[in-house]
Amino acid sequence: MRVPTKVQRWCGGATIILLSLLLGLGSLAIQAPASAAAVRGEAGVHTVEVGGITLAYRSLGHGRPLVLLQGSGAAMDVWDPLMIQTLAHDRRVIIFDYRGVGFSSDDPSVPMTIDLLAHDTAGLIRALHLGRADVLGWSMGGFVAQRLAELHPHRVGRLILMSTDPGSKHAVRAAPDILALDERVTTGQASLDEILFLLFPPDQLEAGQAWLDRYFSQPGCCESVPYETAVRQLGANDAWYAGPGAWRSLPRIHRPTLVLRGALDIDVPPVNGALIARRLPDATSATFDDAGHGLPLQEPTTVGGIVNGFLERP
pLDDT digits (tens, 9 = 90+) for 272-289: 999 999 999 999 999 999
Give the pLDDT score at 27: 38
Mean pLDDT over each residue of the chain, to the nearest integer? 86
Please tell me what DSSP assigns to residue 102: T
Residue 209: what pLDDT? 87
What pLDDT does 42 receive? 62
The pLDDT of 119-138, averaged and rounded, is 98
**Cβ atoms within 10 Å, residue 284:** 14
Report pLDDT for 257: 98
Q: Cis before residue 222, ω within 30 degrees of 0? A: yes
Phi and psi at 106, nearest 5°, equal -150, 160
Asked if residues 236 and 113 have their Cβ atoms less than 8 Å apart, the reply is: yes
Q: What's the pLDDT score for residue 5?
A: 28
pLDDT for res 7: 30
Cis geometry, peptide bond prior to residue 221 (ω within 30 degrees of 0): no
Triad 261, 167, 98: Cα angle to 5°: 80
182 pLDDT band, cuts 50/70/90, is confident
| Contact in structure between 23 and 185 (CB atoms under 8 Å) | yes
Residue 200 is classified by DSSP as S
- The answer to whether the CB of 56 falls within 8 A of the CB of 97 is yes
Q: Residues 6 or more apart from 221 whose CB is under 8 A from it? A: 77, 215
- The residues with which 56 forms a beta bridge, in sequence order, are 47
**Domains of the chain, with CATH numbers?**
5-311 (3.40.50.1820)
Task: Give mean pLDDT, residues 202-217.
Answer: 90
pLDDT computed for residue 19 by the predictor: 42
Q: Other CB atoms closer than 10 Å to residue 46's CB: what's the count?
A: 16
Exposure string over 265-283, b if 16+ CB within 10 A, otherwise e: bbbbbbebbbbbbebbeeb
pTM (2 decimals)? Answer: 0.88
Percent of the chain with pLDDT over 70: 84
For residue 29, what are the contacts with CB-CB under 8 A and spacing of at least 6? 17, 18, 20, 21, 224, 225, 226, 227
pLDDT of 35 above 70: no
Residue 159 in this model has a pLDDT that exceeds 70: yes
Residue 37 in this model has a pLDDT that exceeds 60: no
* pLDDT exceeds cutoff 80 at 55: yes
Q: Are strands 46-50 and 53-60 parallel, antiparallel or unpaired?
A: antiparallel
Contact indicator for 181, 190 with CB cutoff of 8 Å: yes
Longest dimension (CA), the chain: 51
**Bridge pairing between strands 53-60 and 92-96:** antiparallel
Residues in Cβ contact with 176 at an 8 Å cutoff, skipping those fewer than 6 apart: none
SS3 291: coil
Check: CB of residue 218 under 8 Å from CB of residue 77. yes
* In the predicted structure, residue 38 carries a pLDDT above the cut 80: no
CA distance 258 to 287: 11
Instruction: For residues 213-224, give the mean pLDDT.
Output: 86
